[in-house]
Structure 1
Amino acid sequence: MSGSGDFDSGRILAMAKGKSPWGGDGDPAQADPPVSDGEGGDPPADEPAPKVKDDSRNPWLPPHADEPARRSANIEDIFRARGGRGGGSPAPGTGRNWLPLVLAGLIAAWIGGTSVHVLAKGEQGLVTTLGHYHRTAGPGLALTLPWPLQAVTTRNTAKIEETVLPAQEGENLMLTRDRQLVDFGFKLRWRVTDLQRFAYASPSTAAVIADIAQAQALAAVAELPLDGLIEGQRRAELQQRVASRSQAVFDTLKLGVRIEGAEVTRAEPPAKVAEAFRKVGLARQEARKTVAKAQTFVQQTLQKASNEAAEFESVYLQYQAAPEITRKRRYYETMERVLSANPTVIVAGNGVSTTVAPAPVPTKSGTPATPATGGQ
């Protein structure tokens, strides 16, 4: 109890001296004026001058009479304070005037850029609404709802596209009818006729076209011999088979594609046996030349024999009509043919003979040959 009494008496004593009971100075307006030790109201020399307390920062005291009432800062005060620090922001009201114009320009560009579409000649546009097919637009001006409500995917349907197989470098070995391997390559030309079917038939319709063409080429090569493919006699037939069969499959699957043609780019033996095939090819060419030469000789011999038989038939008919005359004529003709190339010897009565050369016979070059002459 004595301790509590001492605390209370100390607190009362502090308040009596103008101090706060929590250790601070009390209210200077309510504190007792200092006791002067002399005239003039000066404080005693042994006491320090009293401290004047600034109560303008005390949140618990009301504001002074000459200070306006305080209020909370709003959002405009915050932005105004930031703009005054040199941030470069426009003054209040300036940005508000330009903002509607900027927004209107952006909206107009968005609508115009995604709603107006110009398709060139030969192009078609696939119009989709929220990802679903809506219609197919032709060449010219096409109007749609702005993106993302509607979108247009264009494609040149007049362009002839090509599928080259094999797609990668290297051999593309196929088995022929005579169980031989051939390195085969070809090119398929096609174009899109129905854009909707082409776009929705498969996620990758071009890859499906390549797979179908490869399968049909395998089937067509298996029906033809190796020689016909390598030497080229059966290539046109092969191209026709691949094109017609591939088109039939495309129509069945409704791919919206029409084949414009097929072309064999190579049909060669495998690289490992290419040299052997080259030698075999040379031997075959030589055999063909020999056969052709023999056939020519046969034709010439047959023609000569036929002419001689016809001549004999003609002479025989003449002989039947006039045997004696025909016999003499044939005798003189034979003697003329035999003796025309021999020199003529004339023997005089006194034992002197003279040799007369036969008439000159024209040579192949057109210059008459001069036979040798002599006498005894």
Structure 2
Amino acid sequence: MPWSNQSGGGGPWGQRGGSGGGKSPWGSGPQDSGTPPDLEDILRRGQDRLKDFIPGGSFGGGKGILLLALAVVGVWLLTGFYTVRPNEIGINMLFGKYTGSSGEGLRYNWPYPIGQVRKPDVTRQERIEVGYVSGAGGRNRDMLEESLMLTGDENIIDIDFDVVWQVNPARAQDFVFNLQNPQGTIKAVAESVMREVIGRRTIQGILTTEQASVAQEVRQITQSSLDGYGAGVLINVVQLQAAQPPADVRQAFFDVNAAQQDAVRVQNEAETFASRTVPEARGEAARTVQQAEAYREQSVADASGQAARFSKVYEEYRKAPNIIRERIFLETMERVLGEVPKIVIDQNGQGVLPFLPLNELQRRAPATGSAATQPAQQGATR
């Protein structure tokens, strides 16, 4: 046994082979009777040894108790020192009430249970998934109760998005005291705000060009709501991961969307044709109107000239009717017979009267001259 007092061995504190046998930690070894040591004797001896360290030699004295109490209080006060890392902010409390914040370094606050220190991480960014749960290998599980939302034009859309947040360094005490479940609170607020924003927009805009504006608006409203709650967090990013129709009606929605795009395309083509044809028709109409106006002006001017000429002729006719009548007859015959081949017959019975056709000679002269110049030009080119 470990307490055996045989001469060949020692107890747990004994020395093998020593003349005095083994000794206990309190000074003397066990009795030679071979019986186990007396516990009361061991305690008495330990008490005697402890008295040697107490001034006055009496453990029960008032000064010893006071020194012991002061030592205990000193050790307790030393436990109030704590270290704040660069990514943390110390939130000091006294009897559970906030008393102030502390920056990085070695700091001090009243130790527990009078004082308490909370050190939230103000640089770590947390991500909350709304509408889906990410899995291994990029396979996500859709949470339809979170992702299905109603748009302003009464369509259903499936939206998955992320919210990235962190503790506000300027309001870290609000985060510590006002938020019991930060992840759940921020997720509930962001989902509610997303439903509000989607309910004010049409599905076509959300699926095409308005996703960035939707994310920005959701971030701003979520931040404003959490500030109103005194949450002490910063919403850094709201990012849409997917925005599409529900899986059950997705193909039908794409067919309707394609038909709408075809309708818009045909309408644009018709508007293009109209924008090209209408100006041409208007230009043609304006040209026809201008031609008619010009013809009218010309006809009126010709008629006015003819009337003025007839008036002049009539005035001259009144002065000398015979002369004017003869002149009109000659001018009319000249105009009628000018281009008609003529044969002149002598009235005295001598037969056909030869005459010199000056008009035909004048017409032939230019033709003959042009034919004569051609051989000369050909010889020159050779």
Using structure 1 for the length normalisation, give the TM-score: 0.48
More helix by share: 2
